Amino acid sequence: MAVNTNARTNRWLTGDPWRHHDREDEELERVRKGPSCVVYLQRHGYANGDDVRAFGPVLPAAARRVSASVLRARRLSPELKRIPEDLVVRHVLPYLFEDDDDDDDEGIRGGFNQFKRLVKTEECVTEGLSSHPRLLQDGWSQGAVHPAWHKFAFDFGDEYDQVVPIHAIHIINMLWWKLNHNGDDADVMLREVEQQFNLRASGVLETSHLASLLLCTGALSLSAALHGEAPVKGDRQAFRSIFEGAQPLDLKRVEAFIVAKIGWRCLYTAPEHMLTHLFVCGSTYANLTEEDGGLDRAVRNDFWRRCSNVSRMLACHDVIFSFTPTMVAGGVLYHVRKSLLTEETATWSPELERLLAIPTDIIQRVAGMVADLVPDPAEPEWPWAVMYRPGGDSD
């Protein structure tokens, strides 16, 4: 049955502020850094005493040296040894770290070191996520969440680069995974949010819907901080009207609620981070360059825009979370290259396979799924847009 809606609602459900935006090199450079583990530790490190030990391999080299030196000094000093190690890890180390994330162990600066740490982060988290496909089949539950929570994240994150709402959705997916993995009840957690933040039903929004949207707002706030962006303003009129009972809204408290559930897993990279690293690799543009090997700026911008379009739409499909960010990034790259090249054989290359360290047949399978979800990279549609098109089906 077609859904009747007024023009304002239609704009809200189908609007896409990033659709015609050409991202600049400076914007993509910030995205490539990924979520800052140092900012996380400084902001929420106290919440999980074992964060430094559990997540140490992905800290910047300078931070690892500081951590090792402080813990070694504690072991060797009779005076410092009286201080419990957990107190040092939770309350001392986070304030000694500096976010110098361009240096590697040899002091070499550059994007390769950033990419290495993103891959390490992916490896640290992915092993535990192996249960995700099974959980999706065996009673996966997000509780009574608002059905448009993905769109809420994009609408209220529209002042940032798209990586912030995409990563915020990733954080919420990590929260659902953790609850299902532990056998916990998502509705119980939503009621906990309702009570802790004094949420009251408003208009057509039930309290559980409000709770899920408040978690999205907290995830946006956390993601913005981890990407070095200006804070989300909880006193915006839009937030005040939705979360009336929760005012004044302290988003850092909401962040802390999420961090208490998933800890350092909020640093898990999104496919968007990996894609922006692929944008600087020459093999990404094979067969798209001019005869002299140069890359036309319009072609480059169109390529970036198509990849960004697909990445944005995919964030709204929970099944994507079953694949590693690098796999999804490879699938997006394959799909976009295929949309621009006429010859199937030109779509992929041994150089790209070596770059991603993933067999071509796996990338092709992921790309097939990506193509099913987002058929046209140049003219993307939100998953729910079909319901609001004349003749669309609401089922």
pLDDT over threshold 90, residue 182:
no
Residue 103 has pLDDT above 50, yes or no: no
Q: Do 14 and 230 meet the contact criterion of CB atoms below 8 Å apart?
A: no
Nearest to 354 by CA among 266, 254, 307, 286: 286
Provide mean pLDDT across the span 20-26. 87
Averaged over 28-32, what is the pLDDT?
Answer: 89
Q: Quote the pLDDT of residue 374.
A: 95
pLDDT tens, 260-312? 898 888 988 899 999 999 998 888 998 888 878 788 999 999 999 999 999 99
How large is the average pLDDT for residues 132-146?
75
Say which range, 65-69, 317-321, 361-365, has the weakest mean pLDDT: 65-69
Residue environment code for 144-168, b if the CB has 16+ CB neighbours within 10 A, otherwise e: bbbebbbbbbbbbbeebbbbbbbbb
- Record the tokens describing residue 66, joined without a space: 């500081």
| Structure tokens given for 313 | 């739409």
Which residues are CB-neighbours of 4 under 8 A, at least 6 positions away?
A: none
Per-residue pLDDT, 80? 76
Residue 224 pLDDT:
95
Higher pLDDT, 206 or 132: 206
Map out the domains of the chain with their CATH numbers.
Answer: 46-131 (no CATH), 141-267 (no CATH), 270-388 (1.10.472)
The 8-class DSSP code of residue 243 comes to S
Among 2, 318, 3, 302, CA closest to 132: 318
Mean pLDDT of 80-106: 63
| Mean pLDDT for the stretch of residues 351-363 | 91
- Please check the confidence at residue 252 and state whether its pLDDT lies above 80: yes
Q: What DSSP string describes 289-318?
A: S-TTS---HHHHHHHHHHHHHHHHHHTT-G
% pLDDT > 70, the chain: 77
Q: Which residue has the higher pLDDT, 88 or 296?
A: 296
Q: How high is the pLDDT of residue 231?
A: 87
Q: Both tokens of residue 294? A: 């140069």
Mean pLDDT of 240-252: 75
Instruction: Return the pLDDT at 373.
Output: 95
